[in-house]
Amino acid sequence: MCQYSNSPERRPRSLNYPMKRKKHPSAILALLILICVVAWFIGTNIVSGSAEPDNLISVNDISDYPYYPSSPERITQTIDTPAFYNATIQTFTFAELAAISNDYLLLVNPDYAVPDYVFGDLARISGYVNTLNPDILLNEDALIMLRVMFDSAASIGFTQFRVTQGFRTHDYQQALYDQMAGTGLAAQPGHSEHQVGLAVDISYHGVNIGNSVQGNWLMNYSYRYGFILRYPQHKTHITGVPFEPWHYRYVGQPHAYFMTRNDMVMEEYIAYLRINREISVFFEGVEFTIIYLSGEDEVVEIPESHLFWASRDNTGGIIVTISESDERGRY
């Protein structure tokens, strides 16, 4: 908002206090309008390279939020979602949601280790995407969306994306960690996203993916397919991992959209959900309700006509995603 400078006393215009002659009033007015427009433009949350500037999500400023709320406020009462269309309501407990978790939002970093259970739904990537190693494994849903993403890139001429890494066993991660000791390029065994089958390393033949139009395309559009750049350069102080322009993580929609459009890494996103408890996100014409549950005494009520899925976050909570559409595709 433009404001005029304050003066100690504003005297009324009269014959005793004639106005000073103004030079070029139209030019001054145009300058004031220009200043207001520029100030408004800078103050809005516009993402560089955005494909849908009209669909930006408005979120609260999280700069003052703690990195990880150590003692989030517990909500013991039932968390209700609106009974849209007077639909029949079904109630799910924390334990029931954990039992059907797809684990797409598991946080794995230097502070949170890979859970000690077996991950299923891994598929061999040969036949899906280009790779130098056809035996690489990846979560099946992530692999399907990776193929869609590469097909989309090929439609504009980017035909040489390659997968170099996918799922890793603990032993493989240990060997890699020992080989790269001291470089910071390999996570400690038990703390690598590759061990949950949701992370993929991507290269492009003959170019540095961190400094290329192909790499920029991935950074700007991978969210459409449920992927995020996991370790951006300006967030290393939060992730604790050096910039890795090749490392993409599948989180599904609408989470990839929300994180990318609001410049959040997973650590920030989960902290944001823990504090806000429930948010709404619009993605491709569908409204999603995202609810965070942090205790086993919590339940969530969901209209029977709505699709939903749940994911543990590996910090003790569960993230429930509810779609108000009866057709969600592979989110």
DSSP string, 32-44: HHHHHHHHHHHHS
**Angle 14-20-23 (CA atoms, 0-180°, nearest 5)?**
140
Which of the residues are catalytic?
244
- The partner residues of 272 in beta bridges, in order of sequence, read none
| Per-residue pLDDT tens over the stretch 103-150 | 999 999 999 999 987 666 899 998 889 888 889 999 999 999 999 999
Determine the pLDDT at residue 44. Answer: 38
pLDDT of residue 117: 73
Q: What does the pLDDT read at residue 26?
A: 58
140 Cβ contact list (under 8 Å, min separation 6): 121, 122, 123
CATH code given to domain 116-250: 3.30.1380.10
For the stretch 55-110, pLDDT in tens is 222 223 223 322 222 222 222 223 333 334 446 899 999 999 999 999 999 999 99
- If one counts every other C-beta atom within 10 angstroms of the C-beta of residue 114, the result is 20
Residues of the chain with CATH 3.30.200: 54-105+268-331
Average pLDDT for 266-271? 98
d(Cα 57, Cα 179) in Å, to the nearest integer? 43
HSE, CB side, 13 Å, CA atoms: give it for residue 92: 23
Asked if residues 256 and 222 have their Cβ atoms less than 8 Å apart, the reply is yes
Q: Which 8-state DSSP code applies to residue 15? A: S
- Residue range(s) of every CATH 3.30.1380.10 domain in the chain: 116-250
Name the more confident of 299 and 11: 299
pLDDT digits (tens, 9 = 90+) for 226-249: 999 999 999 999 999 999 999 999
- What value does the mean pLDDT take over residues 264-279? 97
28, amino acid identity? I
Sign of CA dihedral 110, 139, 325, 306: negative
CATH of 54-105+268-331, one of 3.30.200, 3.40.50, 2.40.50, 2.60.40: 3.30.200
Cα 142 vs. chain centroid, distance in angstroms? Answer: 15
CB 65 within 8 A of CB 271: yes
